[in-house]
Chain A
């Protein structure tokens, strides 16, 4: 019976609306008071039924919920035979709940889209060798699974046989399909665009990368800030206090109507729902745009940020050094480049890779008498010529004379933040190359957007030499840049900012070797391409290592924090306004009070929904 009534709340709402309309028409149009009283009376009883059931259930577990306040108020209205009020109040309460549900689902839609991408079933190999469809929960580590074209990869695993191309957008944000073959790794939640593969399960369920992302976002949307926990504690005592005040008013004033009006006006409606709504919409927007925000505490801290500290390599720069400038001296350059490539081919130095990539196709010659000169470079004999590849010190050791032009080039390349690779053939300088880690495309614009969002300081920390660091810093317009720093020095620097300068600090890193700094900063931001370390140690994850998501993340955090404050302001304002007007005005009654309450709940939900559409302005305001 109880379940029947509760599951038909919507029908009850509609019937009660019709009855109320009938009541008013007959009272005002036909002056038929009897019909009106009956219609409104039935509407009240019908409407009260589901509310009273909920109130009873709440009381049974010792909770004074809003339903309890409304039920008592409506019963009070029956006693004073005010059926008009009781009918309207119950209707508004039910109709409000209906609208609340509809709009709340909207605010949660972004996160729902994400969780619905979770795989549900898998084709598992049974002991008889056949594949059978099973629920994804029944897959264990080590099981062999078959994935067909168009299907979701059910677990994190390794390809046993077959090949295909996989869309990994749900994990990395990368929309181009990635081709997979035997022993490639595949991720749960990604989609096999074409081909058929058999995989062995390495991690299942919540242990998969996708499972972790979902769990993180789900926990985040329900995580509570200090302010919210306060509201929770407050509302636990708030409703009983309202009930008590109503009772006292009745005892002392003997005015039942005033007492029940206070019960309705005192409903905490918008206050308890305002903050969670902003939170879920803000985090949902982030999830949709490749930014994982871990909860409302993070949003609050991030929105009040003072200083943002960046790791250089892999964060501001691509992390993949390449030749950015070069100069040739004298003749027979083709031959010199061939010798250079031949020597570098045998080295595993990071600069050698950049040099080889730059030269590309060339004629390789056999290399003999290779000698590695410590902090200098390499000397060798190639095709009977003596070839030296290395820095200026090596050239001096080899007795190579550097021309005025060469010296000028060397100075310029160094100033631009390059590491130098000089090549001499038979004691003559032939080639000068400047190798540099390239700045990520678009980073400069992203940083200036961060500045417009009023981040006061942008600081870069790096293990590279100060010259390189200064060059990058100048190009990007950073406030400060420090080179020659070990990982522990970076975290010490952040500790100093937090403890001595009392700043709110965010640290942005790739999450591989910066874990201490990520954990230490108020907000650790990982440039994660779906790696576990990044997801676990940080507070914010930028999916697919996409730096351009950072300004969006900051703008969104600020907008969400603002939205929460607006909602608290609206909710508190409405309650104060209602309580003031019941004492100082003539027109306030239960129905108007309920109407204003329900309206304020919808207003905070709609306000929260704006966050789903939040986008960072590309251009500054004029």
Chain B
């Protein structure tokens, strides 16, 4: 399991949080319990299994919703 912190463009509507949460939780290999979308700091924090998907896959899922990914960090 790896920990990813993804910085997004500024989030302005709280329903964005629900959408991003839904999209990332639906990905295979993402630990559903770990997904945290921080509204005010516009960040997504989650744990994922790098054997099953890469951080780029997660970024892609978020970009597909129309939110720009600024920077991501995996530890």
Residues of A within 8 A of B (CB): 2-3, 6, 53-54, 57-58, 60-63, 65-67, 97, 100-101, 104-105, 108, 111, 115, 137, 218-219, 221-222, 235-236, 272-273, 276, 279-280
Contact = CB atoms under 8 A, between A and B. Distances in A.
Contact of B66 (A3, A62, A236): A3
A65 B66 CA distance: 15
B66 A280 contact: no
Given A61-B65, A137-B73, A222-B38, 10 more contacts: A57-B65, A58-B18, A65-B13, A65-B15, A65-B19, A100-B13, A115-B41, A218-B38, A219-B38, A273-B14
B64 to A, nearest CB: 7
Contact of A58 (B12, B19, B43): B19
A57 B64 contact: yes
A314 to B, nearest CB: 33
Contacts of A65: 13, 15, 18-19
A139 to B, nearest CB: 14
Contacts of A219: 38
B10 A111 contact: no
Interface in B38-75: 38-41, 43, 64-66, 73
A596 B13 CA distance: 17
Interface centre among B18, B22, B64 (most CB of A within 10 A): B18
A604 to B, nearest CB: 12
A231 to B, nearest CB: 9
B67 to A, nearest CB: 9
A101 B15 contact: no
Contact of B15 (A53, A66, A108): A66
Interface centre among B15, B64, B65, B73 (most CB of A within 10 A): B15
Identify whether the interface residues of B are mostly helix, strand, loop, or mixed.
mixed
A2 B10 contact: no
B40 A6 contact: no
Nearest to B64: A57
15 contacts: A2-B66, A58-B18, A60-B23, A65-B18, A65-B19, A100-B13, A101-B10, A111-B40, A115-B41, A218-B38, A221-B40, A222-B39, A222-B40, A272-B15, A279-B40
A276 B41 contact: no
Contacts of A104: 10, 12
A60 B10 CA distance: 22
Interface string B2-35: 0000000010111100110011001000000000
A218 B36 CA distance: 12
Given A54-B66, A58-B19, A66 B13 contact: yes
A280 B40 CA distance: 7
Contacts of A273: 13-14
Contacts of B41: 111, 115, 218, 221-222
A253 B41 CA distance: 45
A19 B41 CA distance: 36
Interface of B: 10, 12-15, 18-19, 22-23, 26, 36, 38-41, 43, 64-66, 73
A58 B66 contact: no
Nearest to A272: B14
Contacts of B43: 218
A75 B18 CA distance: 24
Nearest to A66: B15
Contacts, number: 69
Nearest to A105: B10
A221 B42 CA distance: 11
Contacts of A54: 66
Nearest to A239: B15
Contacts of B10: 101, 104-105, 108
A236 B40 contact: no
B57 to A, nearest CB: 15
Contacts of B12: 97, 100-101, 104
Nearest to A50: B66
A30 B65 CA distance: 43
B39 A63 contact: no
Given A63-B15, A65-B18, A100-B13, A276 B39 contact: yes
A188 B7 CA distance: 21
Given A2-B66, A54-B66, A57-B64, A276 B18 contact: no
Nearest to A275: B14
Contacts of B65: 57, 61
Contacts of A61: 19, 22-23, 26, 65
Contact of A63 (B22, B36, B64, B73): B22
Contacts of A221: 38, 40-41
Interface centre among B13, B15, B36, B40 (most CB of A within 10 A): B40
A6 B43 CA distance: 20
Nearest to B18: A63
Nearest to B11: A104
A61 B24 CA distance: 9
A68 to B, nearest CB: 9
B35 to A, nearest CB: 12
B47 to A, nearest CB: 16
Contacts of A63: 15, 18-19, 22
Across chains A and B, which 7 residue pairs bring their CB atoms closest together, nearest first? A61-B22, A65-B15, A222-B38, A272-B14, A221-B40, A101-B12, A280-B40
Contacts of B13: 65-66, 97, 100, 273
B19 A53 contact: no
Contact of A236 (B18, B36, B39): B18
Nearest to A103: B12
A105 B73 CA distance: 24
B37 to A, nearest CB: 9
B39 A57 contact: no
A280 B42 CA distance: 12
A61 B20 CA distance: 8
A276 B14 contact: yes
A18 to B, nearest CB: 24
Contacts of A236: 18
A53 B10 CA distance: 19
B22 A53 contact: no
